[in-house]
Structures are given as C-alpha cells and as structure tokens.
Copies of this chain bind each other. A is one copy, B any other.
Amino acid sequence: MITVSVLYANSDDASFDIDYYVTKHMPMVQAKLGSALLDSQAEQGLASGTPGEKPPYVALCHLHFDSVEAFQGAFAPHAEEILADVANYTNIEPTFQISEIKPI
C-alpha cells in the first residue's frame, strides 16, 4: 500500500482556508478518485517539535492507494480539475510525497 501526502508549507504570508479544504476540496477529491482511494485523512498543523515555533506545515492530507499505478490511474483523468481548485483555498504551492507503507 502507498501513501500520497500533500503538504502545504508554512510561511509568513501563507493563507489557507481549512473550512473550504475539508468541506469542499477534499470531498471533491474523494469523489473524483473513487474506489481506488482506500482511505484519506486531512490534518491542520498545530505545532512543531520546538515550543513556540510554527508548525512546518499549515495543512496536510494523506491518501492511501494499493499502488502507485492505482493512484496514477485514478488521479490523471481528474488532475487538472483537482489542481485548479487549489487556488480556491490557499496561496501555498503544495509538496507531493509518494511513500510506501512499511510494516513495523
């Protein structure tokens, strides 16, 4: 299984509409990706490891798929529409991380 994480880095001029993100954007992403998307999680940054320091990321999401191919097959047909919606909730350019889940 793989995780596709989308990370929105913090900065002094970062803006992020968390309500739009969880009530509009993420439900749209879930609908577009369909059953290839096994599970999804949205997160809002609270803190870093250093007291008083801003969280490295304002927001993140983690999307689980069976494989990179399953993700690509589900995402490619809707990539343009999904990415076009990003400007509706943030001025941050998202970072994409694709990872393999390792048994502990």
Task: Report A's interface with B, CB cutoff 8 A.
Answer: 2-3, 5, 7, 18, 21-22, 26-27, 30, 40-50, 55-57, 59-60, 62, 68, 95-104
Contacts and interface: CB of A to CB of B under 8 A. Distances in A.
A64 to B, nearest CB: 10
Given A68-B46, A68-B47, A40 B104 contact: yes
Contacts of A42: 101-102, 104
Contacts of A104: 22, 26-27, 30, 40-42
**Copies of the protein in its oligomer:** 2
A47 B98 contact: yes
A39 to B, nearest CB: 11
A46 B103 contact: no
